[in-house]
Chain A
Amino acid sequence: EVQLVESGGGLVQPGGSLRLSCAASGFTFKDHAMVWVRQVPGKGLEWVSVIGDNGDFTSHADAVKGRFTISRDNSRNTLFLQMNGLRAEDTALYFCAKASPRSSNYDGYFDYWGQGILVTVSS
């Protein structure tokens, strides 16, 4: 059974940093691209970041480019999101998800999702 478990969220002041983690099990982690998607409570879904299976490819949404960095440790089956320079508008539930790419650029749909971790940016 595929399991994705996020951790590392919480309350942080504007300008602060957080590092989210996503522990994966139930599939061969090193063979799959992974993404972070966020959702403001009560609102829609927004893709944040993607990383290729071996970490060679990464991409970030314009809203977080230069502030967030996605990475992975395939030896520990773990995905990360380093979030710096946090803003109030980054407040959201952050999901990690396993990607099913259609191309070498890893664009694809997301077939398994974690339950999400809440990040609140407020003074």
Chain B
Amino acid sequence: EMVMTQSPATLSLSPGERATLSCRTSQSVNWYLAWYQQKPGQAPRLLIYGASTRATGVPARFSGSGSGTEFTLTISSLQSEDFAVYYCQHYNGWPVTFGGGTRLEIK
């Protein structure tokens, strides 16, 4: 089964700063990688699919990059509403799996 490793586990930054979140897969998933944001008490929200395509309504400050086994989610300038947990997910065959998450907290 694919192993998804997200780093760091926790990222402490201030509003206005740039956030860089990493996701590594144990085997190549080509570009079949999605990113989700989850706030407390809410369902996950799709941010990015195809490694770099923003989902409908997602602000341009969110961007995704990478292919193969190394992926990055970048938030260019953090807003207060961006502090949440972020998960990556591969969809290169079943079972699809999620990373353990990165908690983005206010410094």
Task: Spell out A's residues near B (CB within 8 Å).
Answer: 44-47, 50, 59, 61-62, 95, 100, 102, 105, 107-116
Contact = CB atoms under 8 A, between A and B. Distances in A.
A50 B93 CA distance: 12
A115 B43 contact: yes
Contact of B55 (A62, A111, A116): A111
Contacts of B87: 44-45
Contacts of B89: 45, 109-110
17 contacts: A44-B101, A45-B44, A45-B89, A45-B98, A46-B98, A50-B94, A59-B94, A95-B43, A95-B44, A105-B93, A107-B92, A107-B94, A109-B49, A109-B89, A112-B46, A113-B45, A115-B43
Chain B interface residue count: which class?
A: 20 to 34
B96 interface: yes
Contact of B97 (A47, A102, A105, A112): A47
B95 interface: yes
A105 B55 contact: no
B21 to A, nearest CB: 14
B46 A109 contact: yes
Which of A45, A59, A116 gathers most chain B CB within 10 Å? Answer: A45
Contact of A100 (B42, B49, B92, B101): B49
